[in-house]
Amino acid sequence: MNTILLGFIGPWQIALIVAIVLLMFGGKKIPQLMRGMGSGIKEFKDGMKEGEGDAKTDDKETEKLK
């Protein structure tokens, strides 16, 4: 059985990715990058919550028009 499984990431691939990131950015820059990514995710979630509230009010307004 000669099946190629694409999409599975093993421990060697993860180690290689971590090594490349460390070489590219260095140890001091990685915490800053993670902090920036965390704040971006938080802003995205807040935006999604605001969008849900807008959608609910739009639904109520369309129901009133019917």
Q: Is 39 helix (H, G, I), strand (E, B) or coil?
A: helix
In this predicted structure, what is the pLDDT of residue 61? 60
On whether residue 1 sits in a domain, the answer given is no
User: Per this entry, what is the length of the chain?
Assistant: 66
Does residue 43 lie within any of the structural domains? Answer: yes
Q: Looking at the 3D structure of the chain, how many domains does it have? A: 1
Distance in angstroms (rounded) separating the CA atoms of residues 32 and 64: 49
Q: DSSP code of 54?
A: H
pLDDT in tens, 11-56: 899 899 988 988 888 888 888 888 999 999 999 999 988 877 766 6
**pLDDT (mean) for 2-16:** 75
pLDDT at 6: 60
In a domain, 32, yes or no: yes
Whether 9 maps to a domain, the answer reads no
pTM: 0.48
63 located within any domain: yes
17 domain residue, yes or no? no
